[in-house]
Structures are given as structure tokens and as C-alpha cells.
Structure 1
């Protein structure tokens, strides 16, 4: 059974972590924003780190939903399905004020100081790339990608480029870097 209080904390925490990062996330501010007693927080989470790691898990549920929605849309060609996932992501970024990717933000902030976050975030990127690889393999079989291309390397590169573009989008507060990166990548990939 899902706990309403825990879900409320995770949802609020996701928005707060995205906006202000881990270091500036105050548990008291989170509790005030969700009108949650301190004891309830520690009933669900052993520490701030445990909380943030569970927020990442919650975020990944949304990412996998977007992947399912996009990659599972067989009315589109495989390459179009992959692009559609990133277009949906950029629309979400736009709605949130171009704050970017939670994984990228936390990865930049914490990967040098926290092995737990480094490992968690890297495993999330690997999972995303694995899902994309399957669709790119299908595109290759259909002749939409060159036969000598490596779908796994292409998926890893796409995720890497996306994260850089998401950072630039956050800095500029517009979608330009995301659009240009996708156009460049998918033009180059089909050659």
C-alpha cells in the first residue's frame, strides 16, 4: 500500500531538488511545504540522502513511463519513437521552467562527493540507454540506421548529448539547445 504522506514528500522533494539541488534542500522547508511532522519524515526515510535517493527512484518511474509511451508507440518508426521520448522530456522541462534533468543536476552536484549518488545516477542513465538501444536496434534492422553503426554506443551518446543540452537549456532558460541537439543527432545518425 502506498503511503499518502510518503508520496506527498517525494513529489514535493522532486520539485525542490530540481529547483534548488541537494545541498540547498532543507528538511524543515520540505516539512513546512508538505505540512508534515518531522517524525513522519523519519518514519519513511532514514536520512536526507535516503530521501533524495528515493526521489530519484520516483523520478525514474516518470522516465520509464515516458519511455514506455514513446518507445512503445509502434505507429511511429523506431527512430521517431526515440526522438519522441526526448521531445516529451523537453516539453516537461519547458513546463517546469527549463530546470533540466534531475539526474543531470544531482549528478553534477553530488557525483564527486557521494558514491551512493554517483552509482545510482549512473545506473539510471544506463537503464535509459538500454531502453533506447532496443529501439535503435530495431531501426537498424529496418535500414533506418547504417548497418555498421553500434546501437548501444549511439544510445549512450544520445543520453550524453541530451544531458549537456539540458544543462545549457537550464542556463539559457529556453529550448534552443535541446532542439539543436536533437536535430543534429538524428541527422547525423541516419547517415
Structure 2
């Protein structure tokens, strides 16, 4: 990995663990033992770093979308990729994008708009599947599925219990889609 990537991934992990407002540039640099000048070589500011982290999450989500088939089964597999990631983290931290949405969407318009790009990609992909599968009200149901997905991630983090994933897979997805 390049120094820029190490810096980006370290910052993403620390922000995912502690929140954007609780992680300073110094903490990131101390973690990887690089001088402050190196940070500013790659990023103009902490804000630019965070925008790059959001871009990373957009690319990761897009990559996950491309790994599953474009069907209701694939949609469920996509959600389970993220559920399994949270299980691998012992149900800590939650959804990194969801956390950033909660923390930053009212704080900074640039962050809000970039986070909205992530949501729009996921929403558009979900709508396309629902339209292809002839599910009624695909726009509203796509929004409901994404909201349920984020809520499932949030409650699993709160309860430290993956039962919410089981409920989503057994009831929520099918109930929203009327299948």
C-alpha cells in the first residue's frame, strides 16, 4: 500500500471506531508514525481526508454491488455482506457510512452531499432490481429497505446481538417487498 492509502485506511478505521469529531490529525499520524508534513502532502485538510474516506466507502459499496447478482436474492446477499462485516467486528462500530451520516450530515454540507451520493447509488441499484422483479412501488420500497438495513445495523451495534440480522432476513425484507 502507498503511504496515502495507509493514511486513508488508518483514518477510516479510527473514525469508524471513535467518530470524526473525536479523531484529530495528530492521532492518525501517531498511529502510523509519519510526520505532519506527510499528511498535508496527501490531503489539504481533515475535511479533504474525510471526503476521501467517503469516496472509499462509495467505491467499496459499488464493488459489493458488482459482486452480487442483480436480483432480490442478490439484494439480500448485498445486505448480508455488511451484516457479516459487523459480526466480524464483534458487533462494534456499526455501519461506517451510517455513523458518518449521523455525525456529519448536519455539520458540513460537503459531507452531506458526498454521503448522499453513497445513498443514491444504493437506492438506484435497489430500485432497478425492484423494477426488474416487478415489485410494486419500487422507489418507496427501496427507501424502506435501505432505512431498515441501516436500522438493523444500528440496533445490532446497540444490543450487541446479531438477532436483528436474522429478523431482517426472515421478516423485514420479505415484508417490505410483499413476497
> Could you tell me the TM-score, scaled by structure 1's length?
0.86
Residues 1:176 and 2:163 aligned together: yes
Say if 2:103 is the partner of 1:109: yes
**Count, aligned residues:** 177
Alignment partner of 1:150 is 2:148: no
In 2, Cα distance between the equivalents of 1:96 and 1:46? Answer: 31
Distance in 1, matches of 2:79 and 2:6, equals 27
Deviation track 1:157-191 (CA, whole Å, cap 9, x = no partner) reads 11111111111111122222233123222221134
Aligned residue in 2 for 1:124: 118
RMSD over aligned Cα, in angstroms?
A: 1.6
Contact 1:71 / 1:135 at 8 angstroms: preserved in 2?
no
**Aligned equivalents of 1:42 and 1:97: distance in 2?**
34
Structure 2, gaps ≥5 residues long = none
Residue by residue, what CA displacement relative to the aligned partner does 1:125-162 show, whole Å, maximum 9, x if unpaired?
Answer: 1111111222222222xxxx4xxx12222111111111
Aligned pair partner of 2:83 in 82, 86, 90: 90
1:71 aligns with: 69
Asked if the contact 2:131/2:138 (under 8 Å) is kept, the reply is yes
Does the Cα contact within 8 Å between 1:14 and 1:59 map onto a contact in 2? no
Which of residues 49, 60, 63 is equivalent to 1:62? 60
Match of 1:139? Answer: 133
Q: Where in structure 1 do 4 or more consecutive aligned residues deviate above 6 Å?
A: none
Aligned equivalents of 2:88, 2:24: Cα separation in 1:
24
